[in-house]
C-alpha cells in the first residue's frame, strides 16, 4: 500500500505571521499522526516563516511553483535552489490556476519538473480537464496528453519522488467535488498512462491524489477508493480544524483499517 499523502495548498493567502500561526495550529492538531504524510504549501513570502513552525513536527514544506532555470534575468521567478534553501521538500507543478491565469503550457510544466529533479525537490504534477472537455467526452484524451507531455523524459528511477494530483478544473474552488467514482476513473487513466511512460513497476510507486473542493464531509468517500492515494486540499487547508478532519477522518482512518 502506498503511504497516503495529504497536501494543503494555501494559494495566495497568509502573511508570514499568519502562515506561521496557521502552521503551528495544524501541527498541534496533527500531533502523534501515524500512517499519513502531510505537506503544506504556503505562498513564497511565507515559506521562511512556516518552515520553523513545522520543523520536527512530521509535516513537510512545499512551494506552489518554481522556475525551470536556476538563476538569471527572470523577474518575479523563484528557482529550485532558492526553494531548497528554505527547506522545501515538495513543489506543486502545473496547477490549473497556473495554466489558466498565467498561460502555463505542458512544455513549461515539463521543464519545471525536470528542474525540480535536478536537486532534491519532489514534484507534485497537477492534471485535469475543464467542464466542457468532460462534457465533450475528452476526459481521457486531456489527461493522457497532460501526463505524457509533462513526464516526457522523466527518469523511471525517480518515480518515488513523483506524485500526481488529479484536479478537475470545474471542481476547484466551486464547492462541487467530483464523485469518488469519477475520481477513481480518472486515476486509473493516469496510472495506465504512467505505466506506458515509466513502466509498470516504477509507476506503481507513484501516488495519485484527488484535488477539488475536498472537505471533511466528503473525504471519506475518496479515502475508500483504492485508486486514490491522498488529496490536494485548497480552501479547507486554511482552516486547521477542517484540515485536521480531512487528514484524520479520511486518511489516518484508512491506514488504521488497512
**Which of 67, 95, 104, 227 is the catalytic position?**
95
pLDDT greater than 90 at residue 134? no
| Whole-number Å distance between alpha carbons of 140 and 147 | 11
Q: DSSP string spanning 79-109?
A: -HHHHHHTT--EEEES-HHHHHHH---HHHH
Number of domains in the chain: 1
Domain holding 12, by residue range, is 5-257
Are the CB atoms for 165 and 125 separated by under 8 Å? yes
pLDDT at 258: 55
167 as an active site residue: the answer is yes
If you average pLDDT over residues 24-37, what whole number do you get? 95
What is the value of pTM for the model shown?
0.95
Annotated catalytic residue within 167, 187, 227, 252: 167
pLDDT (0 to 100) of residue 1: 76
**Per-residue pLDDT reduced to its tens digit, 177-229:** 789 999 999 999 999 999 999 999 999 999 999 998 899 999 999 999 999 99
Residue 256: what pLDDT?
A: 66
Q: Name every residue whose Cβ is closer than 8 Å to that of residue 188 and which is 6 or more positions away in sequence.
A: 227
User: Does pLDDT of 117 surpass 80?
Assistant: yes
Distance separating alpha carbons of residues 11 and 224, to the nearest angstrom: 27
70 is annotated as an active-site residue: no
Q: What is the pLDDT of residue 252?
A: 74
- The predicted pLDDT at position 137 comes to 85
pLDDT at 67 over 80: yes
Q: pLDDT band for 39, please (50, 70, 90 cuts).
A: very high
Average pLDDT for 52-56: 97
Q: What letters, b where the CB count within 10 A reaches 16 and e where it falls short, cover 128-164?
A: bbbeebbeeeebeebbbebbeebbeebeeeebebbbb
As a whole number, mean pLDDT of residues 226-251 equals 94
Reply yes or no on whether the pLDDT at 61 is more than 80. yes
CB 150 within 8 A of CB 125: yes
Write down the mean pLDDT value for the chain.
93
* pLDDT given at position 151: 97
Residue 102 belongs to domain with CATH number: 3.20.20.70
Instruction: Give the separation between CA 81 and CA 83, rounded to whole angstroms.
Output: 5
Confidence bin at 54 (pLDDT 50/70/90): very high
Please say whether the beta carbons of 168 and 179 come within 8 A.
no
Query: Average pLDDT in the 230-238 region?
Result: 96
Alpha carbon of residue 177 to chain centroid? 16
Amino acid at each position: 500500500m502506498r503511504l497516503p499523502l495529504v497536501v494543503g495548498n494555501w494559494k495566495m493567502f497568509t502573511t508570514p505571521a499568519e502562515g506561521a500561526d496557521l502552521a503551528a495550529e495544524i501541527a498541534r492538531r496533527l500531533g502523534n499522526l501515524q500512517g499519513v504524510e502531510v505537506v503544506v504549501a504556503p505562498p513564497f513570502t511565507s515559506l521562511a516563516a512556516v518552515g520553523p513552525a513545522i520543523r520536527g513536527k512530521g509535516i513537510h514544506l512545499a512551494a506552489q511553483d518554481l522556475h525551470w532555470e536556476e538563476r538569471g534575468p527572470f523577474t518575479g521567478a523563484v528557482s529550485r535552489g532558492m526553494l531548497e534553501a528554505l527547506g522545501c521538500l515538495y513543489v506543486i507543478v502545473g496547477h490549473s490556476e497556473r495554466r489558466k491565469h498565467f498561460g502555463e503550457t505542458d512544455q513549461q510544466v515539463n521543464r519545471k519538473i525536470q528542474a525540480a529533479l535536478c536537486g532534491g525537490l519532489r514534484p507534485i504534477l497537477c492534471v485535469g480537464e475543464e467542464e466542457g472537455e468532460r462534457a465533450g467526452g475528452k476526459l481521457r484524451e486531456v489527461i493522457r496528453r497532460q501526463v505524457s507531455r509533462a513526464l516526457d523524459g522523466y527518469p523511471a528511477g525517480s518515480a518515488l519522488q513523483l506524485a500526481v494530483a488529479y484536479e478537475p478544473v470545474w471542481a476547484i474552488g466551486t464547492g462541487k467535488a467530483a464523485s469518488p467514482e469519477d475520481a477513481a476513473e480518472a486515476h486509473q487513466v493516469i496510472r495506465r498512462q504512467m505505466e506506458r511512460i515509466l513502466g509498470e513497476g516504477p509507476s506503481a510507486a507513484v501516488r495519485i491524489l484527488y484535488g477539488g473542493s475536498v472537505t471533511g464531509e466528503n473525504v471519506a468517500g475518496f479515502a475508500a477508493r483504492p485508486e486514490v492515494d491522498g488529496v490536494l486540499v485548497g480552501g479547507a487547508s486554511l482552516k486547521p480544524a477542517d484540515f485536521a478532519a480531512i487528514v484524520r477522518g479520511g486518511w489516518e482512518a484508512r491506514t488504521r483499517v488497512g
